[in-house]
Structure 1
Amino acid sequence: MKNGQHRRISGKRAAVAGGAAAALVMAGITFQTANASEGTPQFTVKSLSPLAAGKLSSSLGKDLGSDNAAGSYYDARTKALVVNVLSGDAADAVRRAGGRAKVVANSLSELRGATRALSGAASSVAGTSWAIDPVSDKVVVTADRTVKGDALAKLDTAVKNLGGKAELKRSTGQFKPFIAGGDAIEGSGGRCSLGFNVVKDGQPYFLTAGHCTQAISDWTDGQGNALGSNAGSDFPGHDYGLVKYASSGTAHPSEVDLYNGGTQKITGAGAATVGMNVTRSGSTTHVHDGTVTGLDATVNYGDGDVVNGLIQTDVCAEPGDSGGSLFSGSTAIGLTSGGSGDCTAGGQTFFQPVPAALTAFGAQIG
């Protein structure tokens, strides 16, 4: 090859390379390379708060779609969002956004299909729950100690029919709503706990569990003073209730009782993320911490009381804690619904997401 031809070809290659670089800049794609000669992209995993991780998860979920991703979870140790993906392209999209990609076998669409199949096969088996677990990339089905004999065999068959998309676990406790959990609120049907103070149409209300407002219509505080009456209730299906304060002048601070002489200010509501550290306050067992272990969980409490869309946690609770506050820092997360176990041996507790309750009632934290 002549020198002139070599120079012309090299010039063309340089122009192509320059055009490609310009295209990357125009597309807004930037990355660092650990070895410039090899051109291997190295993306930085962002250090995120649980709430920031939840927002990034929501954004990536919309961008990737349920066929390219399979949920996400927060790694509290590294403060990183881990996103399950099914392809290299999806993994690169996660890394560019600052998340950590994990290639898995089951898509979110497949796992949601598995939960629908379980809803049909296990809906008649009381004492069961099921939720997508992004850490294991499976639907985890839990049977409490009351599930035995033919009912357990039916559940086991339903799980096995889903192959590697589901697994069955046992709970030593019994799933039940915790009616009998913030500050105590009482009525003729028992005791629950106040969740969060809210405002609707300029008037003061509070949120609690729907199974509480189903059983009790008028409420008093722990000293027998009138608090208010039900303004809305949804249970089963969901588990939220709305109570209007008896007086518009009632003090209704946006805070949660920490049972140590202090309170936690609540400034808004947010969505839970698997792996998020959370705190629960209730009138029976007061304040306990734990971790979110699943989202969009379904629980069959028995007697036709099936609740969907719950937050699954390893936080303990006991009767009387129902309706109480689940929060992360200054953010309202959930209302105590029910579960198994207690705060001596530990257990599993489910919470109604607060944003869904606010939307249903047209209320705001305040």
Structure 2
Amino acid sequence: MRRKITARRKTTASLGLSAALVAATFVATGLAPSAAAEPRSDSGATSKALASPGLLDAMERDLGLSPAAARERLADERQAVKTERAARKAAGSAYAGSWFDAESGKLTVALTGRQAAGEVRDAGADVEIVKHSAATLDAAKKRVDKLKAPDNVASWRVDAKANRLVVDVVRGHRADNDVSTFLRKARATAGAPVQVGTVPAGPSTFAAGTVGGDPYYTGNVRCSIGFSVQGGFVTAGHCGKAGAGVRGWDNSTIGTFQGSSFPDNDYAWVSVGNGWWTVPVVLGWGTIPDRLVKGSSEMPVGTSICRSGSTTKWHCGNLLAKNETVNYSDGTIVHQLTKTSVCAEGGDSGGSFISGDQAQGVTSGGWGNCSSGGETWFQPVNEILQRYGLRLHTA
């Protein structure tokens, strides 16, 4: 969202939305389910146009890629989005998930039978034959979602590559009685294979004090804008409840939370007025040029993704998993989040996850920091658009 022009601060046509996790005297938790609004086509853009020097520098810093390797990966990932759409349609009920392999630059689609394998390969994907369909595993996860999780069970998800459910437990706590009980119930309830993994720490939402940067405020809470929509912007639900007033960086009134869902989901939208307006931009913080938003095509697991936030600015990583249920450290559970290897810190809540010029989601929470590393979850943007009947503001 673009700021008002005042004597204290000026904006240009390229200035865009910044993202920040909640900043406040309280720490909230949450994730959210994803649905899909129809994404806008992005066929006119090229990987060359997206590969700005700043983005290439960020991918070298965070992913260890040379500029040439980063350009090649961006082109491969763009093709993988198109391939995934065609392959999933060809697979039908045999579809069991997909993932992108950065080394080969190819998308693999898992199938429960060979009948559609030829059509899927014709679409440009590699094929792997597995036992359980995506529909079967998604249903199994929904049954596990009904269980009450103890603190040291961090999250659970469907892992398409492993063709099973994966439950992540905080390291050193697998033998705890309550954790063992949860795992036993999960295996009995799922009706599908369950694998146990470990994570260094439990997740939490990223809260921080009301310090400088590019925030918006509601009460004592500081958060960042996610993406402009027609009439306002979307952000994280734990940033404020419906009806709460929102102030800008200069403490002037922006608008009001028109809808908010947390816990279970972690999304919200805020109306904009009072001399404020929206633009289809994500702030690059001087690391890269501000990013124009041209659509919301969802990227496959395994592709690269970047995040903008007012505390830690611009960082990149990999998309690790989708439809993950997260159990935040205060016991709040959020469903259908997307997991990434991108770091984040307090004050980054609600901020933008973007791939190229395609909006992906708003920051919910995670663990770790941008000094030693960590993982972060976001609420997919298409679900938010569908839930509130919003239209993404695109360039």
Bin of the TM-score, shorter chain as denominator length: 0.7 to 0.9
Bigger Rg over Cα: 1
Q: Which of 200, 207, 220 is the matching residue for 1:172?
A: 200
Superposition deviation, residue 233 in structure 1? 0.9
Superposition deviation, residue 332 in structure 1? 0.5
Superposition deviation, residue 55 in structure 1? 4.3
Is structure 2 residue 153 aligned with structure 1 residue 125? no
Aligned match of 1:109: 135
Residue deviations 1:17-71, cap 9 Å, x none? xxxxxxxxxxxxxxxxxxxxxxxxxxxxxx96435423432443344234x2310
Q: Which of 330, 335, 338 is the matching residue for 1:311?
A: 338
Say if 1:232 and 1:102 are closer, same or farther in 2 by CA, change over 3 A. same
Residue deviations 1:224-281, cap 9 Å, x none? 233222111111222111111232x424221111111731111122223101210001
Contact 1:174–1:341, Cα closer than 8 Å, also in 2: no
Aligned length: 313
Aligned match of 1:39: none
Is structure 2 residue 350 aligned with structure 1 residue 323? yes
Q: Secondary structure of 1:93's partner?
A: helix
Say if 1:189 and 1:116 are closer, same or farther in 2 by CA, change over 3 A. same
Residue deviations 1:198-233, cap 9 Å, x none? 11xxxx301110111239922223332332221111
Q: Identity rate of aligned residues, in percent?
A: 34
Aligned match of 2:312: 285
Q: Which of 357, 361, 367 is the matching residue for 1:340?
A: 367
Give the letter for the 1:198 counterpart: V
Give the letter for the 1:134 counterpart: A
Q: C-alpha separation between the residues in 2 aligned to 1:96 and 1:61? A: 12
Q: C-alpha separation between the residues in 1 aligned to 2:349 and 2:118? A: 43
Aligned match of 1:70: 96
Superposition deviation, residue 324 in structure 1? 0.2
Q: C-alpha separation between the residues in 2 aligned to 1:147 and 1:221? A: 43
Q: Secondary structure of 1:112's partner?
A: helix
Aligned match of 1:351: 378
Superposition deviation, residue 139 in structure 1? 1.7
Contact 2:241–2:257, Cα closer than 8 Å, also in 1: no
Residue deviations 1:80-101, cap 9 Å, x none? 2110123232322211221111
Say if 1:49 and 1:231 are closer, same or farther in 2 by CA, change over 3 A. farther
- Please give the residue correspondences for 1:196-345 in structure 2 after superposition, counting only pairs within 5 Å: 196-199=227-230, 204-214=231-241, 217-247=244-274, 249-260=275-286, 262-301=289-328, 305-345=332-372
Say if 1:175 and 1:216 are closer, same or farther in 2 by CA, change over 3 A. farther
- Please give the residue correspondences for 1:142-157 in structure 2 after superposition, counting only pairs within 5 Å: 142-144=168-170, 149-157=176-184
Superposition deviation, residue 105 in structure 1? 3.4
Contact 1:298–1:307, Cα closer than 8 Å, also in 2: yes
Q: C-alpha separation between the residues in 2 aligned to 1:49 and 1:214? A: 40
Contact 1:183–1:257, Cα closer than 8 Å, also in 2: no
Q: Secondary structure of 2:115's partner?
A: helix
Aligned match of 2:9: none
Give the letter for the 1:104 counterpart: V
Instruction: Report which structure shows greater RCO (CA 8 Å, sep ≥6).
Output: 2
Q: C-alpha separation between the residues in 2 aligned to 1:183 and 1:330? A: 21
Q: Which moves more between the two structures, 221-230 or 341-350?
A: 221-230
TM normalised by structure 2 equals 0.72
Contact 1:48–1:80, Cα closer than 8 Å, also in 2: no
TM normalised by structure 1 equals 0.77
Aligned match of 1:18: none
Superposition deviation, residue 129 in structure 1? 1.1
Say if 1:48 and 1:265 are closer, same or farther in 2 by CA, change over 3 A. closer
Superposition deviation, residue 175 in structure 1? 1.4
Aligned match of 1:5: none
Q: C-alpha separation between the residues in 1 aligned to 2:146 and 2:386? A: 28
Give the letter for the 1:124 counterpart: A
Q: Which of 216, 231, 238 is the matching residue for 1:185?
A: 216
Q: Which of 56, 80, 86 is the matching residue for 2:83?
A: 56
Give the letter for the 1:330 counterpart: D
Q: Secondary structure of 1:365's partner?
A: coil
